[in-house]
Structure 1
Amino acid sequence: MPPGVVIAESFADPPDAALFPEEAALVARAVDARRTEFATGRHCARTALAGLGLPPAPILSGPRGEPLWPDGVVGSITHCRGYRAAAVARRSDVLSIGMDAEPREPMPPGVLDAIALPQERTWAESAPERGRLLFTMKESVFKAWYPVTRRNLGFDQAEITVDDTGTFTAKLLVPGPVGEFTGRWLVSDGFVASAIVWGSTPLSGM
């Protein structure tokens, strides 16, 4: 992440990852695994917010499940099996953040067909974990796009081009305030991950 962005991550679910009552109500009917990952994600978010000097506060969810941050804050939360993380920044420094992670595993059959444009498939099929990595990139694009535009974005509305040095470009195929995102990706420790920070020092320049 570039300067100004604070990230907190966890590879396990800490027993002290408590929820505010308003947050607990959001997952009251969820299965135990969902409530646990939700609580750890919020725990990471409050740890990251503390890095900005902000006190603990409830982080509710918007209509697309996006976290609703305190005034003046932008951020992103991700969770998958064995990994949870949150990244936050002040709105005065960053417009939005998109971050996503997945286990380093092949995609389930048929999923790549649903998320990949024809021009993305050759790259995605060239290594077992690349389908998952492409999925994280598309999710990072949506997470960066939606809080600013409040508009949906389909998997087929962003064209991903990957640089094997660890950066990627997402060309937006819909009208909007930005035509292209630049992000970074990582394969490490059994996971694949990607991130976009919109409105800050370009990640590709780090």
Structure 2
Amino acid sequence: MLWADRITARRRMGCSPFFAVTGCQPVLPFDIIEATYLAPPPDAMPTTTDLIGARTRALARRQEDIQRIHSRVYQARIDAARQLELDHPTKIRDFNFKRGALVLMRNTAIEASLNRKMRPRYLGPYVVLSRNRGGAYLLCEVDGSVLDRPVAAFRLLPYLARRAIDLSWLDDPRYLDISTERIREMEASLDAADDEPQALDDAHRDSPLS
């Protein structure tokens, strides 16, 4: 069953996982009789050189196949995101946090655990430094400790403080624990940060305050 699943074409990819990895179509038992290995039948018994040459030409086209698969999968993801926006127009909000805004980060690491009931659903508050080219946010603690990776926008909610918090130190690079060059490098990244910062979530979970 696992073998049959790997040689079945995926709708989003337009090919089978076997083809995406190897660059050639899988050979099934009936292909030997019916389709002659899915290749044009030779005029005579092929030599080893001819056989290697045919397989080399198939592998030479693999990069083009990989690019075509990537384009199909990427377009399918875009279409799925647009459909999600159409299906949930009242639930999806783009807060577009500005520099210095206080936010809470959803603790997505606990959502699949069975004992999540008593764990904190949100972490923070954090301070927004900027937003990278991929749409993810660069955050830091209120003491200037910058998180080691961007955070996806869907994980953040605005933090409504009861009174104003002095964030005048934010414009002074001396208070941040990383260099300005590193911040610029993170801002130029196209990483959308749809993966979970597992290490950060685990650190909060294991801390005495959790």
Give your verdict on TM over 0.5. Answer: no
Asked which structure has the greater RCO (Cα within 8 Å, sep 6+), the reply is 1
TM-score (norm 2): 0.23
In proportion to residue count, which structure has more helix?
Answer: 2
In proportion to residue count, which structure has more strand?
Answer: 1
- Highest CA radius of gyration, 1 or 2? 2
